[in-house]
Amino acid sequence: MKILITGGAGFIGYHLAKRFVSDNHHVTLLDNLNKTGIDNELENLIKSDKVTFRQLDLKNVKALMELEDDYSVIIHLAAILGVQNVINNSFKVLDFNQEMLSNILYLAKKQKKLYKFLFASTSEVYAGTLSKSLLEIPTPEDSNIILPDLNMPRTSYMLSKVYGEAMCLASGLPVIIIRPHNIYGPRMGFSHVIPQIIKRVLETKIGNKLGVYSPDHTRVFCFVEDAVNLISELIFNYKDQNLTVNLGNSSPEINIRNLVRRILRKMDREDINLFDLNETEGSPKRRVPNIDLLNDITRVTDRVSLDEGLVLTIKWYLKFLKNSN
């Protein structure tokens, strides 16, 4: 099967491509490389005769429409994301995310035998409802969506994704919309909570203190290997026209303070003393998805435990930081 992945040089795109290649699919990766560049792992991946890499800006309609018309699956991951990046560039988030999705949907409509179009939305769609204390937790996909304060820069990302979901559902294409919940693992950069903690721990001298932002906010994390398995199952097992589904785990729910403590143990750095810092602006106090629908469709029961996933992630980042010095 021929598969196109936008944002293919990024975190989930790279891991998905590896999985699809191992399953003998042919994968085309599109990325403008503004965020990632080509590292050794991506370079090794694109050496495969089953992988085509194209550096392409999704806002360049002419270049995009010159692509082939025989893709069976299109996976749209490309977006402006990352909390600080979103806060600093809220207008760009709204503008570029909509434009990129619009262009890739037109490319999808051009395909002769498109089987599935997968759009990566976000768990942030539930943030406004949570802020009004009206959100059921664990959160099902059919929860009412309430808009947060439009003056908050972070709202821009959520808005771009809600509008994106509506565009996909209105497109007439066979669409799967995933709402990822705290996917983590190797090669995810440093703009996410777990790699940020790992880096800050390494920078903390023996016996010193480490501040924890949003210490009582809780999350449930999902290792990228599991996320990739679940996405693959959704694409190839769901036969109906449209699907909106949470992607992640429903347990264990852990607060950020205890997450840091767990990482300290895994890194053998229990010499570090923790103290609480302020809540991160716009950060939801709880984020726990209901994954009954996901489990019904995928039948994937074996998952990487949080402890195992943290060990694998820490090991990768220690090696990466050592090699980059």
* Mean pLDDT for the chain overall: 95
Residue 294 has which token pair? 């996901």
pLDDT single digits (tens) 225-235: 999 999 999 99
Share of the chain above pLDDT 70, in %: 100
Say what the pTM is. 0.96
Residue of 183, 176, 178 lying closest to 120 (CA atoms): 178
pLDDT at 45: 97
What residue has token string 């944002």? 7
Tell me, what amino acid is at 180? P
Mean pLDDT, residues 263-280: 96
Helix axes 90-110, 155-170, angle to 10 degrees: 20
pLDDT of residue 86 exceeding 90: no
Q: How confident is the model at residue 164 (pLDDT cuts 50, 70, 90)?
A: very high
CA distance 41 to 19: 14
pLDDT at 140: 98
Q: Are 218 and 288 in contact (CB under 8 A)?
A: yes
Q: Nearest-5° angle of CA 7, CA 281, CA 263?
A: 70
Mean pLDDT, residues 242-253: 97
Q: Are 145 and 128 in contact (CB under 8 A)?
A: yes
Residue 279 has which token pair? 């809540």
CATH topology of domain 2-324: Rossmann fold (3.40.50)
Per the DSSP assignment, residues forming a β-bridge with 219 are 254, 287
pLDDT single digits (tens) 117-144: 999 999 999 999 999 999 999 999 999 9
CA distance 28 to 141: 30
Mean pLDDT, residues 160-176: 98
b (16+ CB within 10 A) / e for 51-74: bbbeebbbeeeeebeebeeebbbb
Tell me, what amino acid is at 232? S
Domain ranges of the chain: 2-324
pLDDT of residue 36 exceeding 80: no
Residues comprising the chain, all counted: 325
pLDDT single digits (tens) 145-158: 999 989 988 899 99
Mean pLDDT, residues 215-243: 96
Strands (DSSP E) found in 32-115: 51-55, 73-76
